[in-house]
Structure 1
Amino acid sequence: MFSPMSSFIFYPAISPIANGIGVSVELINLTITSYMVVSGVTPALLGNVADKGGRRPVYIVALSTYIIANIGLALQNSFPGLLILRMIQSAGSSGTISLGYGVMSDIATPAERGSYVGILLMGPNVAPPLGPVLGGAITSRLGWKWIFWVLCILSGVCLMLLLFLLHETARSIVGNGSTPPTRIVHKTFLQLMADTTEKRVERTDEGASNLSLRLNLPNPLLCLRLLFVKDVAIVLICNGICYAAYCCIQASLSSLIIKIYNFNELQAGLIYLPFGFACLSSSFLSGRLLDYDYAKTAKAHGFVADRRHGEELGQFPLEKARLRSVFVLLTITSGSLLCYGWVMQLKVHISVPLILQVFIGFAISGVFTVLGTLLTDFNPQRSSTAAASANIVRCALAASSLAVLQLIIDAIGAGWCFTIIGTITAICIPLTEIERRKGPNWRRDRASYTARI
């Protein structure tokens, strides 16, 4: 939640922050670009560490970094401080989503993974409806610095819950959960308090020293290698294209609404609610739909789909199971994007673009759930690394799109701009069909090659 929330809660405070530290809005927008760049790079480091060295220690380091950055942001009064601390804030928060995918892969079988990923994505989808409203309310009543104090308090509570309750799930550390962790960093505070013998403490101390060495040796190249695997690359490209469209909608929404419908800043913040709540509900429902599609495909092909089966996916038609519904979702997304641009340009009644926002939010969030689950299925032993690969692609495409978005709207209008975006999004339809047809053979060839080496 904290990575997207840190962006959405920041948007309503852009002008007050610029006035507060005496710089232009363009310079404040530079902190948004730098935030996105760091959020694309950091998971490449943290994902590999989490897959090899455990989820808990990386979570602890990431959230601690995020808390420190928020304290610094609340206390600073200069642009260099804002720029640097926003980058540190991004480094602390951006890896948590890929860590979440890792935990989902650890604890959920493929038969139930869709629901787990859907629940996971409900966290990031809280940000679009609540972030702008919360940011605007805090800024108007308490001042923009209290945005960072609120984020600090929320993340501090989350860190305490993690320290006490989140068990280590990495298969490389605890297997299927039956192997108890031996190192201090992998144990919850409750587990540490239950350790009573000196022998256990000595063993965990020794293990913590060994872990320290491993955490200093992340390998981001493992993340980059996945970009050149054919079946994985299609998923990454489609996910990146849809995320770029998602960001274009979010970035242009308030400015277009204010310009076309003469809304004030508070009203412009409230119009994020329909899109956000559509995304939130879709994450949950599409996860359930994925589990249904998986069970139906398994039954049709003579496989058992339950909590104790399904780990061996070599012969299972995984692509057919996961991509059963994605074509409808992509068609709704691309068609609604096209219509959205033209109703905005033609200044149709505000209810129409808001209804289209609901269609876009529901469909595109469903696409994210489908592709995120399939990517985890492809990489069960390195799921955090795979999620980091997706983050690199989507942040690169989103940053490129946002850099030219306003220029295109100013040059040809919102109608043609979102026609282009909708057309590019529609390219994902044939790409996912190629994945569905050829993906199983690519996946088996990859497994055979890996087994030989």
Structure 2
Amino acid sequence: MSAKTTPDNEPASAEFADQYSVFTTPEKWCIVAMVAYATWFSGLSSFIYFPAIHDLSQALSVSIDDINLTVTSYLAVATVAPALFGDFADVLGRRPVYLITLTLYFVANLSIALSKSYSALLGLRALQALAISGTNSFVYGVIADIATPAERGSFVSGVSFSVTIGPAVGPIIGGLLTYAVGWSWIFWFLCIAGALCLLLIALFLPETCRNVVGNGSIPPPKYLRLPSRIVMCHWSKDNGVARYKWQIPNPLRSIRILLRKDNAVVMLAAGLLYLVYTCNCTSLSVLFVEIYGLKQWQISLVYLPFGIGAAVSTFFSGPMMDAAYRHARSSRGLPTNKAAGDDLDTFPIEKARLGIMWPVLSVTVLTLVAHGWVLEYRQHIAIPLCLQFILGLCLQFDFSIYNTLLTDKNHRAAAAAQAASNIVRCTLATVSVAFLQPMMEKIGSGWTFTLFGGLCLTATGLFCIDYHKGTAWRQQNYHNASSSGSPKSVVSKVTLLAEGPLVD
């Protein structure tokens, strides 16, 4: 692993030069907790809205289809928005994009809460999606900034908890608020919670972008600094504004990342899993009302087993990924350095991450098929709810591994890589939801969920391709970049020779 450098390629201070990040473990968890809080709003803002659709239709004197258009517009904007902001976060820094997007999010929710017209709701929901959907990409950039590959799995799992708990509690919060005080209080709740998140980040989130502060020991520009030097400040000395090479953010960078073969394969696989996840969550309310005759206030509780299962998975997926990574290093006679980090450019990280995924994917397929046929034959409600718990546990485990792998593959541009992945998954989800209800009416829930199981099998095949070919493809991209003149440290080239073959 090469010595850490400042953004303008000058050596960092000797005290911190051999550390991947100068932040302590408690500080890293505080940083991840703050950005995970911001990420929570991405899923919450969509799912908290569903219980209010009928009330909004009546309050604004429009049809249900018109209100559903605000859902579609939200998803459409959420598909492309992260690509616009992802490279900004990788180039200009994490603090600016968080402060800007959370401010826009606060304004959007405040305006919706005060609005009384359908046209305002339609436009402001698009603004809400533009503001908050990118946080799901920024968070992985922050993790790549501060966490070495050996500890990255645990931090990604921690973030996954906030990502999955939003869809789980969103319908419950939305249903209770709509029932008790009216639909506008959904957006007052988001406005207040968003303002608190904005305040926490403004006061306590340090700049972590390695393009700006290196491993955290380089003073950032004054406008990126925290109000107090007491909070998480590890500068060896204050040399004024950090000297680094500015780049113009390029939103198309996400497209270039998407077109890399090793990225495209896993992004498509994860997109298929996300399609299944979205269709499963979308179908729950319709199926359980139709089959079990649940009342409106009971429907929100149906989402709890899936959410609880997803939350439970985050407690053991991280330690399992970290253990698998250490085993993959030691089995190749390589050390694991949690302080300085390991060189992933020459290490088959695909095998280290995906090796523990196969049993969980198998259970995912079986659970989906079983869930569909249990509903088809109208078995006791406890059976599909238990299957939802297992499905939530397995799908979230799959997503945690994938998100960690994608961050490892693109650790220099993690936010842009997640934005590219968002394009794939949101596009697939948006299209599939449009055909979900007609498909269930035509072939029934049993064959519909059997089809979803088949899509998960396809995703398994794509992950298998990356397991065997991904490292070679990634290394080919490295060689192509080197031959075209892209900078690469001599140390990494020496390490490439020293570590031997990339694949078994």
TM-score scaled by length of structure 1: 0.94
* C-alpha distance in structure 2 between counterparts of 1:447 and 1:312, whole Å: 13
Matches within 5 A, 1:1-400: 1-184=40-223, 186-191=224-229, 217-400=248-431
> Once the two structures are superposed, what CA deviation does each residue of 1:68-91 show, in whole Å capped at 9, x if it has no partner?
000010011111111100000011
* Contact map agreement 2:91 2:249 (CA 8 A) in 1: no
Q: Hey, what does 2:443 align to over in structure 1?
A: 412
* C-alpha distance in structure 1 between counterparts of 2:355 and 2:136, whole Å: 25
* Contact map agreement 1:45 1:218 (CA 8 A) in 2: no
**Structure (1 or 2) with the greater helix fraction:** 1
* Contact map agreement 1:63 1:93 (CA 8 A) in 2: yes
* C-alpha distance in structure 1 between counterparts of 2:380 and 2:232, whole Å: 63
1:428 Cα offset (Å): 1.4
1:411 Cα offset (Å): 1.0
> Once the two structures are superposed, what CA deviation does each residue of 1:226-266 show, in whole Å capped at 9, x if it has no partner?
22211111110111100010000100101110110000011
* C-alpha distance in structure 1 between counterparts of 2:350 and 2:249, whole Å: 31
* C-alpha distance in structure 1 between counterparts of 2:232 and 2:384, whole Å: 56
* C-alpha distance in structure 1 between counterparts of 2:179 and 2:378, whole Å: 29
**Partner-residue secondary structure (3-state), 1:115:** helix
Higher alpha-carbon deviation: 53-62 or 333-342? 333-342
* C-alpha distance in structure 2 between counterparts of 1:255 and 1:35, whole Å: 21
1:182 Cα offset (Å): 2.0
Q: Hey, what does 2:26 align to over in structure 1?
A: none
> Once the two structures are superposed, what CA deviation does each residue of 1:109-154 show, in whole Å capped at 9, x if it has no partner?
1111111111111111111221111111111111100100000000
1:404 Cα offset (Å): 0.3
TM-score scaled by length of structure 2: 0.85
* C-alpha distance in structure 1 between counterparts of 2:442 and 2:400, whole Å: 34
**Partner-residue secondary structure (3-state), 1:22:** coil
1:309 Cα offset (Å): 4.4
* C-alpha distance in structure 2 between counterparts of 1:25 and 1:385, whole Å: 36
> Once the two structures are superposed, what CA deviation does each residue of 1:127-186 show, in whole Å capped at 9, x if it has no partner?
1221111111111111100100000000100010001100000000000111111231x1
1:401 matched to 2:432? yes
Q: Hey, what does 1:450 align to over in structure 2?
A: 481
* Contact map agreement 1:112 1:306 (CA 8 A) in 2: no
Q: CA RMSD in A?
A: 2.0
Matched residue type, 2:228: L
* C-alpha distance in structure 2 between counterparts of 1:193 and 1:362, whole Å: 36
* C-alpha distance in structure 2 between counterparts of 1:85 and 1:451, whole Å: 45
1:9 Cα offset (Å): 0.8
1:315 Cα offset (Å): 2.9
Q: Hey, what does 2:3 align to over in structure 1?
A: none
Matched residue type, 1:395: C
* Contact map agreement 1:128 1:273 (CA 8 A) in 2: no
* Contact map agreement 2:93 2:209 (CA 8 A) in 1: yes
* Contact map agreement 1:104 1:116 (CA 8 A) in 2: yes
1:308 Cα offset (Å): 2.3
Gaps of 5+ in 2: 1-39, 485-504
1:95 Cα offset (Å): 0.5
Higher alpha-carbon deviation: 429-438 or 370-379? 429-438
Matched residue type, 2:462: L
Q: How much identity, in percent, do the aligned residues show?
A: 41
* C-alpha distance in structure 1 between counterparts of 2:400 and 2:261, whole Å: 20
> Once the two structures are superposed, what CA deviation does each residue of 1:9-51 show, in whole Å capped at 9, x if it has no partner?
1111110111111111111111111101111101101100010
* C-alpha distance in structure 2 between counterparts of 1:193 and 1:95, whole Å: 26
* C-alpha distance in structure 1 between counterparts of 2:230 and 2:400, whole Å: 36
* C-alpha distance in structure 1 between counterparts of 2:128 and 2:345, whole Å: 40
Gaps of 5+ in 1: none
* C-alpha distance in structure 2 between counterparts of 1:385 and 1:408, whole Å: 34
**Partner-residue secondary structure (3-state), 1:167:** coil
1:194 Cα offset (Å): 12
* Contact map agreement 2:141 2:414 (CA 8 A) in 1: yes
1:281 Cα offset (Å): 1.6
**Partner-residue secondary structure (3-state), 1:26:** helix
> Structure 1 residues 336 and 193, CA, compared in 2 at 3 Å: closer, same or farther?
closer
**Partner-residue secondary structure (3-state), 2:193:** helix
1:302 Cα offset (Å): 1.1
* C-alpha distance in structure 1 between counterparts of 2:413 and 2:76, whole Å: 23
> Structure 1 residues 193 and 408, CA, compared in 2 at 3 Å: closer, same or farther?
closer
Higher alpha-carbon deviation: 126-135 or 383-392? 126-135
Matched residue type, 1:140: Y
1:349 Cα offset (Å): 0.4
Q: Hey, what does 2:462 align to over in structure 1?
A: 431
**Partner-residue secondary structure (3-state), 1:123:** helix
* C-alpha distance in structure 1 between counterparts of 2:106 and 2:434, whole Å: 29
* C-alpha distance in structure 1 between counterparts of 2:451 and 2:208, whole Å: 43
